[in-house]
Amino acid sequence: MSDRMNEDMDLNEFCEYVEMNIKDYLPESYQDWDIDVSETYKATGPKMAFTIKAPDENVAPVIYLDDFYTLYKEGRKLPQLMNQISDLQVQHDVQKKDVIAFGRNNVPDIGKMVDNWEYAKDNIILDTAGCTKNAEMLAHRPHLKMGDIAAIYKIEIGRGENGRFSAPVTNEMKARYGVTTEELHAQALKNSESRYPVQINDMGSVLEKMLGIDVPDMLENPMGVMGLGNSGLIVLSNQELFRGASVLFYPGVLDQVSAMCPDGFYMIPSSVHELLIYPKNNITDREMDEIIENVNAEIVALDEQLSDFVHEYDPVSKILYAPALAQNYKLLEVNKDDVLKPETLGLTDDICNNSHSAVGADGLSQAVKTEQQRRMMKKRAGR
C-alpha cells in the first residue's frame, strides 16, 4: 500500500492514490480487473472518472472521484474513503445484474452495443444540454443546437430498480460508427419519438398526475399568489416527464405550441426534464431571464439546469432563439406535414383557452418555482 496516506494531496495525486491502492479494498475477485482514471466532461464541468472492469468486458460503471476528494480535503480519512469507493463499485456491479436491457440487446453485449453502430443504433436517443453552461462538454460530444439548447445523444442500455443505465455518445464513438451528426440525430429522433412520445399539458394537470394532489387546494395562500390553474403555463415534456426537454427537437412540436399561442410564446428552459411554455402578454423577455436565472440558482440542481435564457420561436422562419444572446440558429427544419394535431396529443379546449390567461412576473416566478419544487419532491421520493 502507498506510503502517502498522510500527505496533503492535490486532486491528481488523490486519483493516482485511488488507482494504485483500490484493489486492496476490493474483494479478491477484482484483483485481475483493469483500472482506469481519466478526465471526462459532465454538465457540471470536467470530472475525474474512475472505472474498473473485468478482462472480458469493455464497459464499466463510472465513479466520479471529485466528490470523494472534497471529502478528503474536509478531513475524511483515506481508508474510510477507499472503503466507500469499493462499496460503491460492488453495489454498481450487483445492480448491473438486475438491469432489464432495452431493445434486442442484453447486458453481456453492452460493449458490442456501445462500440458497434449496428447494435447501438436501436438504442440511441436524444438528450439535451445548455450550450452556454456546457461549452466544454459539448466540445467532446456530437450535437445540434437551437438557441442556447443543444441536442446530445446517449445509448440506453437498460433500467433497474435504482434507475436507468446509459452511455453518452462522444465524438470518438461517432467516428467509430462512421456516421455524421445529422445521421446520428435522425436515428436518435426516430427512437426517441417511438419510445418517449411528446406530452403537452397544463401545469396543474401535470402536478395532479405526478403528486396525486388537488392543485387549487395546494396553491391556496393568504398572499393571493395566482394559482397554477390560471398561470397560463404549459408543460412540454415526454410522457414519462423524465429528460423530456428533448421533445423540443421533435418535428412539428414547436409549430403545435405556436398554434396554441397565436400571439406568440416564451419558452422557459425549466430543466432537462421539461420546458415551460408561457404565452406572450405584458411581461418582457428580460424579466423572464431574471426569473429563470433566480430559479436555477435557488432550486434546480446543477446537473439538471438547461439554460438561464428565455427563448422565442418564429413560426415563419422556424427559428428558435434566445433574445438575450442574439442567436438565430436554424439547424433543424420543421416539416409542415409533421405538425401534430391537438387531439393527437390529448389536448382539450380548456388547455388552449387557459394558455391565454394573464399573470404578472411575480405570479409567473412563483409558478416556475412551484414546478421546480414539484420536481425536487418527486426526485426525493424516488422515480
pLDDT per residue as tens digits for the range 21-53: 999 999 999 999 999 998 887 766 788 999 998
Grid cell of 22 as nine digits: 483500490
The predicted structure's pLDDT at residue 353? 36
Res 328 pLDDT > 60:
no
Cα–Cα distance between 207 and 228 in angstroms, integer?
9
Q: Does residue 209 or residue 264 have the better pLDDT?
A: 264
Cα–Cα distance between 149 and 265 in angstroms, integer?
17
Residue 70 · residue 47 · CB < 8 Å: no
The predicted structure's pLDDT at residue 104? 47
What is the average per-residue pLDDT within 297-314? 85
Query: With bands split at pLDDT 50, 70 and 90, how would you rate the model's confidence at 371?
Result: low
Q: How high is the mean pLDDT of the chain? A: 76
Backbone angles phi, psi at 356, to 5 degrees: -105, 10
Q: Does residue 300 or residue 186 have the better pLDDT?
A: 186
The predicted structure's pLDDT at residue 112? 65
What is the average per-residue pLDDT within 161-173? 79
Res 318 pLDDT > 80:
yes
Grid cell of 223 as nine digits: 398572499
Backbone angles phi, psi at 276, to 5 degrees: -110, 130
Query: With bands split at pLDDT 50, 70 and 90, how would you rate the model's confidence at 88?
Result: confident
Cα–Cα distance between 56 and 98 in angstroms, integer?
19
Res 336 pLDDT > 50:
no
Cα atoms in the 13 Å half-sphere on the side-chain side of 118: 0
Map residue 153 onto helix, strand or coil: strand
CA 16 to chain centre: 30
Cα–Cα distance between 376 and 38 in angstroms, integer?
31
Cα–Cα distance between 21 and 115 in angstroms, integer?
30
The predicted structure's pLDDT at residue 197? 95
Cα–Cα distance between 305 and 312 in angstroms, integer?
19
Res 205 pLDDT > 70:
no
The predicted structure's pLDDT at residue 93? 77
Q: Which of 105-114, 220-229, 328-337 has the lowest mean pLDDT?
A: 220-229
Residue among 204, 202, 206, 232 at smallest CA distance from 218 = 204
Query: With bands split at pLDDT 50, 70 and 90, how would you rate the model's confidence at 374?
Result: low
Widest Cα–Cα separation across the chain: 71
Q: Which of 63-67, 288-292, 340-344 has the lowest mean pLDDT?
A: 340-344
Q: Which of 42-51, 99-108, 109-118 has the lowest mean pLDDT?
A: 99-108
In whole angstroms, how large is the CA radius of gyration of the chain? 23
Res 357 pLDDT > 50:
no
Global pTM reads 0.65
Residue among 130, 172, 162 at smallest CA distance from 147 = 130
Amino acid at 333: E
Q: Does residue 113 or residue 99 have the better pLDDT?
A: 113
